[in-house]
A and B are shown apart, each in its own frame.
Chain A
Amino acid sequence: MRLVIVGASLAGLRAAQAARRAGHDGELVVIGAEPHLPYTRPPLSKELLQGRQELEDSALPVDELDVRWRLSTEATGLDRTRRRVRLRDGAEESYDRLIIATGCRARRFDGPGGGLPGVHTLRTLEDAVALRAALAATHRLLVVGAGFIGCEVAASARSLGLAVTMVDIASHPLAPFGPALGERWAQMHRDHGVELRLGVGLEGLYGDASGARVAGARLSDGSSVDADTVLIALGSTLNNEWLTGAGLELDPAVACDRTLTSTHDPDILAAGDIASVPAALAGGARVRVEHWTTAAEHGQLAGRNALADHAERESHTAPPYFWTDQYDAKIQALGCPALAEETPLLELAPDGTRLVAACVREGRAIGVVAVNAARRLAWYRRALQTPQPLGELAAALAQDGSSLGNPGGARR
């Protein structure tokens, strides 16, 4: 049996390791567009930018994994009839089973000035190295987009002493966590000296007098912001173009069942950012989770499942988990916060620095967000596996008696 994995980042690596561990002794090929062996991305916006880690610290241990790596090799097409993956260099790889783990790339700003020197995105090791070098010579950084990457880079840049302006079209940072918590994140960034410009979009970037590099941005409210470096942090785009016309169900990620098997082809599985998989906390709807832990979990499961017949495959059941570190706050989330309509506090420590909020949709908790409360989050992992009436979750919490503290008299 010949197993081919397209994508040499976390999900692809974990899939290869799991397949070998589960006894796969046939050929194993991992195809990666980047020139590197697998590395871990979370430090790129934090420890690496802040100078607390070096490049080599990002490498993921590959051990003596028996894999034929095809790096710097982009997949450009999939022929399911002939069971071949087409590659940029004209070659092909044939497979018996295929795992798709091509993930995402950073979305770029294609408006005016988007291509000026000094305009960065952050996704890859090269991006991080370029941004780190740029920050060393930067006085004013403009961050466009107050999502995870934008907020983390803003925090890292403040720790380096740079002046930072962060712009977002939304009314608050970290939009997936909702407006109620958003006020808290906004205040956290302001308290650390970030100039926040919320509810305004980016119209265009302009260059300096010679046009040789970026000098600032024009915003949708008619104002402008001077900056010598700009980070575009507007989310990501799926690396799914190579699957066009292959006859898989794309939504636009690879639609899968709970076993990570593509809905149209049992010999093809998907893992990580590019897999769209039913989630219990989303009421069984397919969700795409663009975060580290899901990539690691999917990879391990896809690697094992690829060896088994479809009927024998295990399901992915762990709720989505993701986190962000900004200043002294570790923000952890479980479930599907982005689908929530409101985020009432469940727990609040007396000093206000630690909390847990519920993510509620149609009266049911479908996730939680915790700030500096790792142990509490572990409790919710057990307590919240499927959508649960908020009252029941609150009652279970009261009975458990382990809460950080009551959020206050205003709410009963």
Chain B
Amino acid sequence: MIKVNIDLNLCQSHGECVAIAPDLFQLDENDFIVWQEEVDDGRRADLEAAVNTCPMTAISIEG
């Protein structure tokens, strides 16, 4: 499993990660990010794209 962290001090709700993997990342009613914290290894490419496209470099992955 891959662990997904989002630094909420950095996140500005651009929604890039939501566009890349809407099943793993969503914006709630107040435009705050909610996300799946443990993700299957098969989704590594999507997670890396989210990390590399986040304008705030708020997303990091481990494992």
Residues of chain A at the chain B interface (Cβ within 8 Å): 14, 17-18, 21, 40, 42, 60-61, 292-293, 296-297, 300, 318, 321, 323, 325, 330, 332, 372-375, 377-378, 381-382
Q: Is the CB of B12 within 8 A of A330?
A: yes
| B43 interface residue per 8 A CB criterion | no
Identify the closest chain B residue to A297 (Cβ): B53
Residues of chain B at the chain A interface (Cβ within 8 Å): 12-16, 18-19, 22, 27-29, 31, 48-49, 52-53, 55, 57
Identify the closest chain B residue to A318 (Cβ): B19
- Return chain A residues, CB-CB under 8 Å to B15: 332, 374-375, 377-378, 381
- Return chain A residues, CB-CB under 8 Å to B14: 293, 321, 323, 332, 374
The count of A-to-B residue pairs whose CB atoms sit within 8 angstroms is 55
A60 to B55, CA, bound (A): 11
Q: Is the CB of B27 within 8 A of A378?
A: yes
- Return chain B residues, CB-CB under 8 Å to A300: 49, 52-53
Distance between B51 CB and nearest chain A CB, rounded to angstroms: 9
A292 to B12, CA, bound (A): 14
Listed residue (B15, B19, B31) with the most chain A CB atoms within 10 angstroms of its CB: B15
- Return chain B residues, CB-CB under 8 Å to A377: 15
Identify the closest chain A residue to B19 (Cβ): A381
Identify the closest chain B residue to A59 (Cβ): B57
A318 to B29, CA, bound (A): 24
Given known contacts A332-B14, A375-B15, A375-B28, A14 and B57 CB-to-CB distance under 8 angstroms: no
- Return chain B residues, CB-CB under 8 Å to A61: 57
Excluding A18-B52, A375-B28, 8 further A-B contacts by CB distance (< 8 Å) are A40-B57, A60-B57, A61-B57, A296-B55, A323-B14, A330-B12, A377-B15, A382-B22
Q: Is the CB of B31 within 8 A of A373?
A: yes
- Return chain B residues, CB-CB under 8 Å to A42: 55
A375 to B57, CA, bound (A): 19
Q: Is the CB of B55 within 8 A of A292?
A: yes
- Return chain B residues, CB-CB under 8 Å to A40: 55, 57
Distance between A321 CB and nearest chain B CB, rounded to angstroms: 7
Please tell me which one of the listed residues B19, B48, B55 contacts residue A21 in the complex, with CB atoms under 8 A apart.
Answer: B48
Distance between A119 CB and nearest chain B CB, rounded to angstroms: 29
A401 to B51, CA, bound (A): 31
- Return chain A residues, CB-CB under 8 Å to B48: 21
Identify the closest chain A residue to B25 (Cβ): A378
